[in-house]
Each structure stands twice: as C-alpha cells, then as structure tokens.
Structure 1
Amino acid sequence: MGGHLLVVDHRQGEARYLIMALLHHREGFGIGEQLEIVPSRQLNLSQMTLGARLDIGQWHSGSASHPYLSYTRDRGGRKLADAFAEVLGASESLDASQETRTLLKAFSDYVENEDLPEETSREKTDALIDYASDQASRGEPMTLEELSELVDEQQPKAFYEHIRNSDYGLAPEIPPDKRTLKAFKRFTGRAAGVSISFDSHLLGAAVEYDEENDRLIIKQVPTGLRKQLRKEE
C-alpha cells in the first residue's frame, strides 16, 4: 500500500508519545499567483488510512489498567492495524469491563453537558445500550463513530467529538462487556413538579439516597441548573 509514513516523537507535559500515521494525497483546489482556482494535491487528513499513538510511559510501566497503543483508522482498516501492531511487536489488548465503564462515563458526561430533556436522554441511552448489546451478542467491538451516529442522528459526530476533545483515552473500537452494560440504567422519577433522572453508576457518588429521611442528596449540580439557580438569587 502506498502513501507517506509520518513518524513523530511528541512530548506533552511529562508524557511522551510515538505517533505514526500513513498519509495519502487527494486532488483538491487552491489559489494561484493570479488569484485563479488551480488544481492542488492535498493531504487527505479527513480519511486517514491509519494512525497509531504509542504511550511510551505506559508501555514501559507494563500497566494493564490503561492501553498504551491506540489507533485511528478508516473503516475496513482492521487488518492493516493488526499488521502494523505486529511490526511494532505491540498489543492492543483492552480491558472490556474498564473500557465499557469509561464509555458509559463519557456518555453520562455528554448527556449532562448537552442538558437534554428527560425523554431525549432516555432515547439516547436506549440507543447506546441496544447497539452495545447487539455488538456483544455478535462478538464484535463497538465503533465510536458508528455509536455517535446512532446516539444523535442530527449531529452524528457530536458524541465522537466529545470523547476525543475530553481525552477519555478510548480506542476507536471497544470490546463491549455484557455485565457492565446490564448494570447500566437510568433512575427516573417525577412528583409535585419535580422531575429527576440520573445514571445508576452515579448513585453513591454524585448522588446519594438517604433512606432514613427519604431524600436524595445531589453532590454535583449540573452546570445548566446551577446557572439557572444563580439567576434566581
């Protein structure tokens, strides 16, 4: 396969990464010296065949809690990625349970940041669980881009960009863990003009239930709600 192999030794704070990418050109247009439109060859960064990032610190530590090798690739590039890993002598093995929990945490953060209505939030949760469960039954990984399209058809890249911009450390493909998925659900309730919903994994952390006094204690007030409350003061 042709193309240009880009290799970068990159430092970010105390972390050090080895970044490799297989780049190709595409035909495009540019502006000539006489301000005319002229043909121009450009790097096709929107459809990168393969990119890999090796976290050298994690690799040396031998820690299994975080993957040291992550990929970005176009669809159908799995075999090329596997061959690339073999050349590196690396492994992309992932903890399915941990990765699934991280994905669900990213989803909860996304729902909170978007300040979605209860019904919309429930629909997106159902879409995520249905997709993840289906992939688990097939023995296939979840693809972040496909999941993002299912979670929000109006903004198909919104959830994917949220994950990438927040740096959850998720690989483009994640092995779903059935047990973790089954434990994930949303608690909802409505009474006397009050409506509340939250993900089950937040119980005992961001939300506590005081059974003796029959009350909920919210430790982390959503940003949108906090702004509304301050305006009323």
Structure 2
Amino acid sequence: MPVLHSIIHKIDKKPDGSPAILHVSSGELVESEARDDLIQQLNESYNAKTGKAWGFFHAESGAHPFSGWLGKYLAGTKDFTEFSNVAVEHLTRLMEESNLSIGGNAIFCHYLQGMTDYLVIALVQETEAVTMTDGLTLMTIRRLDLDHIHLAARINLSEWKSNPKSRQYISFIKGKNGRRASEYFRDFIGCQEGVDGPGETRTLLKAFSDFVESEDLGEESAREKTNTLVSYAMAQAKLGEPVTLDELSEVLDDDQPKAFANFIRDKEYGLSASLPPDKKTLNKFRRFTGRIDGLSISFEQHLLGSKVEFDEVGCTLTLRSLPTQLTDQLKRAAA
C-alpha cells in the first residue's frame, strides 16, 4: 500500500465552548516505517468499523467547497500540503459551529491500493499508554488512538474520476451518538448518502436464497455456496472494497461463472453491479441444517423469527411462506 502523500494537523478544541486553535503542519510526513505503520493501522481500523455509510459529493458550492479543492490538487494546480491546509481550516470553522465536537489530529493521506487511488481523512484523538524504557522503568506516553476512530471518510479517487455519476465512491463513519455528532464532518467532506449498504446487502442475500431455491441444490452444496458468499463478502469488507456481482458469481460456481449474476439481472432485484457489503448483515446470514429419518431441513439464519419460528420448549419448528412447489405436492398428497 504505497503512501503517496500524508500530513497531520492538530486542532485544539475543548467541549467547554472555547475557540478552536488550529496548529498547521509545516510539511508532509516524511517517508518512514513509522509513517507506513500508522497509515496501515489507520486503514485496518477504518475497515473494521461497522455502521459505515456510502455516498457521493454534493455539487461544489460555497457550502461544500471540499470537492473543488480536491479536484485542483488532483489536477496539479495545488500541492498536497496546500490542499490539506485549506481543507483543515474549513474543518476547524465547521468544528467551531458544532457544540458537540472536540478537537483532534486531522490525518490526510493519499495512498495507492492495487491500481486504485484513495484519500482517507480521519480525526484521531490521543490517549495515554505505558511503555518500558531501556532502563527497565515505566513511562507514560501519549499516542494516537487508532482503535477508536469515530470521524473518518475515505474517497475512492479512481472511481470518482472515472465514474463521476457513481453514488458510492465515498464511505464514511456514521456517528453512534446520533447524526448530529458526525454531521459537521460529513458537511466538511460535502458528502450525501447515496447507497444503503445494509439494505443492498439484505437484497443480495435475498437474491442468493432465491437462487439456491431455484437451483434445487442439495444440502451440502447449498451450505458450501453460502459459506463461499459470506467468506468473499467478508473479505471484501475487510479490505474496504465493494462486492462485485460478476466476481461473486464466478467465485460461487467455476463451471457456470455467470449463473448467479444473470439470475439477479433477469429477476430485476435492482442491485448495482457493485455494492458495499455490510458486515452486521452478513454475520446474521448463516445456514442451519439437519437430517433425520428421511427429513432434511436447511434454512438461513436470517429467516429465524420471520419465516421460521423455533419453540425451544417443545423443540418444534413452525414454517411460513412455503415454496409453491412444496405446497402443490402436499395438496396433491392430501387429496
């Protein structure tokens, strides 16, 4: 993950309403192992965060100037330090207006992952840590708290440049303490929510369940494909990358690499060619299976409580919305 440019500015702001004080860095972080480790940890922490949203830029305006500054930097009319300086000044002004915000270290980093350019911006707090000195004594130090990042955004610069009509080239952390706590940071980026990650993931999993049912797959094959889908989507989430339907379709079936993708398109589920995977939704998508005396039962975990109800005391299952093919067979047998 080559780091192209990176810089850290510091904003001092207390929650007591006192003015924010901006400390602008004199230049970029120099190339070093410490810098690369910092950016690597920042990205790992960001990727691991749940509750992220995906979106795109508002049209450039006085209220949303960030995309214009970023465009000038990418065009070469501003260098990275100039771009970060004007951006962090804007962030400080917005922070002043927010009674819920406190200061922090504003990290800007332009890096390359594979063939894709990214810009990540995060406001990172500091915390105390204890270290051992060479003289075997303990010393308290201040460190960047990369484990608890609450305000951050990542922009896929390559997608923004190549596909400006995309609605998911920006991802950002949605505040756990409510929208207002992170709204000023989203305004700073000039981002509007464009794709519902959890909703898209649920639709993908619904399409997969329908696909498995339509293919009339055996228990073992269905379980294997379910594990393959979840593993692939989780791996993409860990990398901060979207799930690509064509690639997922190939992963699911080497012999028929287009089968699942064609099924989704033919049935018009309304999914984009790529979508941001939501880890919480994926974690609920596990398959329960069992077989005894000619009875075989298999269903996804997310159906528990809706189409499948389990009575723990009586050890019974109640099934709803049975497949038409099965109900037709039962009606014929009952007749």
Same fold (TM over 0.5): yes
Q: 2:304 aligns with which of 203, 208, 233?
A: 203
- Corresponding residue of 1:180: 281
2: CA distance, partners of 1:192 / 1:164: 39
Q: 1:190 aligns with which of 291, 301, 308?
A: 291
Opposite residue 122 of structure 1, the aligned amino acid is R
Report the more deviating stretch, 218-227 or 76-85: 76-85
Residues 24-75 of structure 1, C-alpha deviations (whole Å, 9 max, x = no match): xxxxxxxxxxxxxxxxxxxxxxxxxxxxxxxxxxxxxxxxxxx9xxxxxxxx
After TM superposition, the structure 1 = structure 2 runs for residues 105-116 of structure 1, keeping only pairs within 5 Å, are 105-116=206-217
Opposite residue 217 of structure 1, the aligned amino acid is T
Identity between Structure 1 and Structure 2 (%): 51
Opposite residue 135 of structure 1, the aligned amino acid is Q
2: CA distance, partners of 1:85 / 1:201: 30
Structure with the greater alpha carbon radius of gyration: 2
When residues 156 and 230 of structure 1 are mapped into structure 2, their CA distance, relative to the original with a 3 A threshold, is farther
Opposite residue 222 of structure 1, the aligned amino acid is P
When residues 93 and 155 of structure 1 are mapped into structure 2, their CA distance, relative to the original with a 3 A threshold, is same
- Corresponding residue of 1:217: 318
Opposite residue 137 of structure 1, the aligned amino acid is K
1:94 aligns with 2:195: yes
2: CA distance, partners of 1:154 / 1:229: 34
Deviating beyond 6 angstroms after TM superposition, the runs of 4 or more aligned structure 1 residues are none
1:83 aligns with 2:151: no
1: CA distance, partners of 2:240 / 2:267: 28
1:163 aligns with 2:264: yes
1: CA distance, partners of 2:301 / 2:166: 37
Higher relative contact order (CA 8 A, sep 6+): 2
Equivalenced residues, count: 159
**Alpha-carbon offset, residue 80 of structure 1:** 6.1
1: CA distance, partners of 2:333 / 2:308: 23
2: CA distance, partners of 1:134 / 1:213: 39
Contact 2:160–2:166 (8 Å) recurs in 1:
no
2: CA distance, partners of 1:205 / 1:85: 34
**Alpha-carbon offset, residue 84 of structure 1:** 4.2
When residues 222 and 85 of structure 1 are mapped into structure 2, their CA distance, relative to the original with a 3 A threshold, is closer
1: CA distance, partners of 2:314 / 2:253: 39
**Alpha-carbon offset, residue 225 of structure 1:** 3.0
Report the more deviating stretch, 90-99 or 206-215: 90-99
- Corresponding residue of 1:127: 228
SS of 1:201 mapped into structure 2: helix
1: CA distance, partners of 2:261 / 2:283: 23
**Alpha-carbon offset, residue 151 of structure 1:** 1.4
The alignment's TM-score, normalised by the length of structure 1, stands at 0.60
**Alpha-carbon offset, residue 141 of structure 1:** 0.4
**Structure 1 unaligned regions, length at least 5:** 1-66, 68-75
**Alpha-carbon offset, residue 201 of structure 1:** 1.0
Contact 1:85–1:91 (8 Å) recurs in 2:
no
SS of 1:83 mapped into structure 2: coil
1: CA distance, partners of 2:166 / 2:197: 19
Opposite residue 214 of structure 2, the aligned amino acid is N
Contact 1:113–1:223 (8 Å) recurs in 2:
no
After TM superposition, the structure 1 = structure 2 runs for residues 6-85 of structure 1, keeping only pairs within 5 Å, are 78=159, 82-84=163-165
**Alpha-carbon offset, residue 149 of structure 1:** 1.2
When residues 116 and 224 of structure 1 are mapped into structure 2, their CA distance, relative to the original with a 3 A threshold, is farther
